[in-house]
Copies of this chain bind each other. A is one copy, B any other.
Amino acid sequence: MSRATLRDVAKLAGVSVATASKALNGQPQVRAETRERVVRAAEQLSFSPNTLAQGLITQRSGTVGLLTSDLEGRFSIPILMGAEDAFGSDQTSVFLCDARGDTIRERHHLRALLSRRVDGLIVVGARPDSRPSLGELPIPVVYAYAPSDDPADISLVTDNVGGGRTAVDHLIRCGRRRIAHITGDPGYSAAQDRARGAVDRLTEEGLRLSGGEVWFGMWSEAWGRGATRMLLDRDPQVDAIFAGSDEIARGVLDVLHEERIDVPSQVAVIGFDNWSVLAANSRPPLTTIDLNLEQLGRIAAQRLSAAMEGHPASGVETFPVRLITRESTAPLR
C-alpha cells in the first residue's frame, strides 16, 4: 500500500488535477459522470488527501495542542477526552504534550507546537492554583483546570467553593449537625476553596465545624486515618465528615469501620473528586463530588474553536460541580 497523490488519481481518471480536486471536494462545476470517474479512481488507489499540503494553502493545520503538566494525574485525562470529543475528530486532531511541571520543557513543547502551526492551544494544569500565562501568542489559548494569572486570557476552572458548599449542604439536608472537614495540603487553593465553601454554608445554618477547625494535612489515605482518630478523640459525637478528596475519605471510612462506627447511620461521609476506583469500590460506596472535568474539556474546546473563528473571550469562567450520591450518606434515622 503506497501513497497515491491527486495527480495519480487525475491521470487514472483521465482528467486534470484541478478537476480531480473539484470532483472530490463536491465543487459544482464538474459533470456528474466525470465526478463518478474521479471518485472511482480515488477509491481504487485508496487516495487520501495530504493534509499538510491542504494546511499550507488554507493556513489552517486542523490541529490543536494540548499542553499538560501532569499526564499521570487524574485531572488531565478527562479534560483531554472531553476536548477530543468536542473537536469532531474528522476536523481536528490533537497533539498531546506533557511538560511534567518543568518550565523549560514547556517552552520547548510550545516552540514545537507553534512550528507545527497548531490552530490553538489548551493548557491544563496539575492543580487548580493559578499559573503563569504563556504570554501573547499568534494563536488562541484556553487554560483549563489551572487558570492563567493574566486576566486577559481565557481560563476555565471548577467551582471548588461551590463544591464545598454543595457537600455540606447535602450533609445538612441529611439532618447532620456536627460536621467535620478533613482535607489536604493547605498550600493548595483547592483545599482552601473547598473549606471556605463548607464553612460558609455551615455559617448560614448557624453551625460551626465539629472539632472547631478545618483539619488540613495531606492528600492521602494515611492522613485521612490519622485525622479521623484525632477527630473522634476531640468530638466523639461527630455525625458527618466531609473529606477533601476521595483518598482522604477512604482513610476516614477505614478508621470508622475499625472503630465499629456505622456509616452512614452513625456518621455520614462524603468525598471529593469522584475518582471511581476509590469511590465506587469502598465500603460503603462513597457519596462524593464530581468535578465535571469531561464537560470542562468540552467547553474548553468550544471556547477555543470560537476564538479560532475570531470570537475571543477573556476572564475566568467557573464551572459547577455535581453531587454523586452513593451509600456513605443518608438521612439521619
- Chain A contact residues, CB within 8 Å of chain B: 1-3, 48-53, 55-56, 61, 63, 66, 71-72, 77-78, 80-81, 84, 89-90, 93-98, 105, 108-109, 111-117, 136-138, 220-222, 225, 247, 250, 254, 257-258, 275, 277-278, 281-283
* Given contact pairs A52-B52, A89-B112, A222-B281, A136 touches B1 in the complex (Cβ within 8 A): yes
Q: How far is the CA of A78 from the CA of B72 in the complex (A)?
A: 7
Given contacts A52-B53, A80-B96, A247-B277, list 9 more A-B pairs with CB under 8 A.
A1-B138, A48-B115, A52-B117, A53-B56, A63-B116, A71-B81, A225-B283, A257-B258, A275-B277
Closest-CB distance, A48 to chain B (whole angstroms):
5
Q: Which of A250, A254, A277 has the most CB of B within 10 A?
A: A277
Complex contact B98–A96 (CB within 8 A) = no
Can you name 27 A-B residue pairings with CB atoms under 8 Å? A1-B136, A1-B138, A3-B138, A48-B114, A48-B115, A49-B115, A50-B56, A51-B116, A52-B52, A52-B53, A52-B56, A52-B61, A52-B117, A71-B81, A72-B81, A77-B77, A80-B96, A81-B98, A89-B108, A89-B112, A93-B113, A94-B95, A221-B281, A222-B281, A247-B277, A247-B281, A254-B283
Closest-CB distance, A207 to chain B (whole angstroms):
31
Q: How far is the CA of A140 from the CA of B96 in the complex (A)?
A: 20
Closest-CB distance, A106 to chain B (whole angstroms):
11
